[in-house]
Amino acid sequence: MQRLIKSSHTTQKIFAFSSLILLMILFSLASPNFFKTENLIGILLATAVNGILATGVTFVIITGGIDLSVGTVMTFGSVMAGVLITMWKLPIPVGVAGGILAGTVCGFSNGVFIAFLRIPPFIATLGMMMITKGLNLVLSGVKPVYFTDTPTFSQITMYPLFLGIPSGVFIFFLMVLVAAFLLNKTILGRYTFAIGSNEESARLSGINTRWWKLTVYSLCGLFTGVAGIVMAARLNSAQPALGAGYELDAIAAAVIGGTSLSGGEGTILGTVIGAFIITVLTNGLRILSVPQEWQMVVTGLIVIGAVYLDLLRRRKG
């Protein structure tokens, strides 16, 4: 059975990667602007934000849960950093730490609601989405928070670290490596899969499922906070209205990459490939001047197709 699941994961990743290559070939043939250096760097930067979010939410989905709040929590992290740095005049490292901590606290709160208060993940994280959406507007005064007095803040994401590739992309790759290590080489990863495969069996085998679910949601919040800092540094501002919809892209990236919404299955590599597919698809359609509403339609159809393929794969298993 394990061999069959592993083979299924490999097939899914090969299919996702082949789809990514095919999209890049098609868009490069359709428009000479696609493979321009500026556009490729833009793709990397856009994937950095969504990829970090998707990497964090992958842990949650593997446990059989969901987190609909990652988009607004990301914004909450960026707004908190903006408040600490521009309004309270605290050093940039303190503001960055505060933004990441804000995301972690939100994830921790989700974990408490879900694991200890027994609130369904959909309802708990939907509530957190609304809470942080309101807090973003309150803390920012319903207006963007600009980092004009701290020009070095943008260098967190935009500094050309290597071959002109911005530092935000390397932050993304670092977070991916950390996530892959945690999921594949630590007890956290083993228990994450165990809870998602059969939570009751995991509990009966001696795993404190409530505390480990709390840890998983807190970890997702930490990744979300990092994404918020990367986004704020890229824009050199904290936009309180930004973030809604990012949770759907993050979940879509994980599902396209082979993470099962039923829980118990998923890989970080697959999620990264899925994040690139989402970004390349959006970028290519934009270059071809496809209206945004049709971009959403295409993305939605791809997500439905990915979920259907996951169902077929599990039935064959």
- Does the structural domain 11-20+30-316 have CATH classification 3.40.50? no
Range among 212-216, 243-247, 259-263 with highest mean pLDDT value: 212-216
Q: Which residue has the tokens 């990397």?
A: 44
CB 267 within 8 A of CB 246: no
Comparing 221 with 288, the larger pLDDT belongs to 221
Name the pLDDT band for 63 (thresholds 50, 70, 90). Answer: very high
Does pLDDT of 129 surpass 70?
yes
Does pLDDT of 2 surpass 50?
no
> What is the domain partition of the chain in residue ranges?
11-20+30-316
User: pLDDT by residue (tens digit) across 194-219?
Assistant: 999 999 999 999 999 999 999 999 99
- Per cent of the chain over pLDDT 70 is 95
**Phi, psi angle pair for 111, to nearest 5°:** -60, -40
Alpha-carbon gap, residue 6 to 84, rounded angstroms: 46
Secondary element (H or E) of residue 166 = strand 165-166
Alpha-carbon gap, residue 111 to 268, rounded angstroms: 21
**Phi, psi angle pair for 19, to nearest 5°:** -65, -40
Name the pLDDT band for 258 (thresholds 50, 70, 90). Answer: confident
Does pLDDT of 245 surpass 90?
no
Does pLDDT of 10 surpass 90?
no
Summary mean pLDDT of the chain: 91
Does pLDDT of 7 surpass 60?
no
All residues at 6 or more sequence positions from 245 whose CB lies less than 8 Å from its CB, including other chains: 71
Q: How many CB atoms lie under 10 A from the CB of residue 230?
A: 28
Does pLDDT of 22 surpass 90?
yes
CB 223 within 8 A of CB 246: no
Does pLDDT of 4 surpass 70?
no
**Phi, psi angle pair for 160, to nearest 5°:** -75, 95
Output the pLDDT for position 86.
93
